[in-house]
Amino acid sequence: MPPRRPLANLWQESAAETFRAPALVEDAEADLLIIGGGYSGCAAALAAAQAGAKVALLEARTIGHGGSGRNVGLVNAGLWMPPEEINAALGIAAGEALTATLAQAPDRVFNLIETHGISCEATRAGTLHCAHGPAGLKDLESRHAQLSARGAPVRLLDAAETARRTGSPRFPGALFDPRAGTIQPLAYVRGLARAATAAGAHIYEHSPAVRLTRSAGAWQADTAGGTLRAPRLLLATNAYHAATGGQPAPAHVPVHYFQLATAPLGDRGAAILQGGEGAWDTALVMSSFRRDAAGRLIIGGIGSLEHGAGIAHRDWAARKLAQLFPALAGTPLHHAWHGRIAMTGDHVPRILSLGEGALALFGYSGRGIGPGTVFGEAAAQALVSGDASALPLAPVEHHSEPAAGLRAAWYEAGATLTHLLGARF
């Protein structure tokens, strides 16, 4: 059973990249003001600074404090749902364009890592989408057909090959995507921030924007220590938007995802994901598992560890570990943490127009690394150049998520019930 201990985020302890920035303590001006120091905000700051813009980024806490530093670390191609569902949500032309753009997202992430020497345990060995049962296998067959028709080099694996790759006999098959990989997610976003600073961007930590307004042709963010003004604005707070006077939070459904990690397993873990892949399953209440560079096994699932029922999630993780890998039954789980995901009703991200020269990016629905990086870079290009044609999605003027609080509670209740009953056999 996992130890009952305060949350300890493994990524904060193991990140090889460090980053520190001062708080804003003066009034300043920039060409582009970015609010939010996650993947989108830092990728945008880097791209805009490299394009010659004067960039200022405000982060309320520290770089990667939100979902970017709590991520599973799977660098996947595309979105969570298959192409035909994306087309149904956006229309064929827009859907196919988005699918094609995000098919290249892992290339962009790993290119940035190489170019800027980001030390983030980058491993491009693909990912395994594992069937949790017969229905899941049918889903993977459909995904394989849709992706293959669009030129993706994915492979559908049988039970034997899946067992060999995962180290577990529990899955009847898996979809292998060689375009994908894994990273240490907090180290990656810190590396982006480091590179952005080297390119000339000004980053301020511990500087929450308490008010955001527009006047005299510029956007102004007020903080406790000073103000920043710029003609162009990118709001990249996603699921961690803090209360800001003058600007409501982009509408989304908050969903939590937790992870627990073993100590380094050494030879005991040699047969688990021996090729270095990351994995997740097709279950409605999905779960994931991967290894890090030190050989720890990290297992995760939907749910929050903050409330009393978080014990159910921790206990489920211990049972799931034993179910997937019987030889590891009883292995202590030494780290436990969770993050918040910004979900949209159709699981498609949004680019929201906030007014003249201002965009908000949000709603990655559990696919923050690749899409977050690509959307951030594209938004920076569009805002700096004034040309929105390169955006991966057309901006919308409004976005709503009816009954977001009730839906969030439903997700958490469903995950808790599933974990109370699951992985017992």
Ordered by where they begin, the domains of the chain are 10-126+179-421 (3.50.50.60)
pLDDT value for 7: 65
Q: Is 301 exposed, middle or buried (0-12, 13-18, 19+ CB in 10 A)?
A: buried
Q: For residue 91, give the 3-state DSSP assignment.
A: coil
pLDDT at 1: 42
Whole-number pLDDT of residue 2: 45
Tokens 């970015």 sit on residue: 34
Output the pLDDT for position 423: 83
Q: How far apart are CA 101 and CA 394, in angstroms?
A: 13
Q: Is 57 exposed, middle or buried (0-12, 13-18, 19+ CB in 10 A)?
A: buried
CA 208, chain centre distance (Å): 21
Burial of 159 (0-12, 13-18, 19+ CB in 10 A): middle
Q: Tokens in use for 346? A: 């159709």
86: left (phi over 0), alpha (psi -120 to 50) or beta: alpha
- Other beta carbons less than 10 A from residue 425's beta carbon: 5
Q: What is the pLDDT of residue 309?
A: 85
CA 274 to CA 413: how far, in whole Å? 35
CB distance 296 to 261 below 8 Å? yes
The predicted structure's pLDDT at residue 3: 45
Environment class of 339 (CB within 10 Å of its CB; exposed 0-12, middle 13-18, buried 19+): buried
From first to last of the 425 residues of the chain, give the pLDDT tens digit.
444 455 699 999 999 999 999 999 999 999 999 999 999 999 999 999 999 999 999 999 999 999 999 999 999 999 999 999 999 999 999 999 999 999 999 999 999 999 999 999 999 999 999 999 999 999 999 999 999 999 999 999 999 999 999 999 999 999 999 999 999 999 999 999 999 999 999 999 999 999 999 999 999 999 999 999 999 999 999 999 988 888 888 999 999 999 999 999 999 999 999 999 999 999 999 999 999 999 999 999 999 999 888 999 999 999 999 999 999 999 999 999 999 999 999 999 999 999 999 999 999 999 999 999 999 999 999 999 999 998 999 999 999 999 999 999 999 999 999 999 988 86
The whole-model pTM stands at 0.97
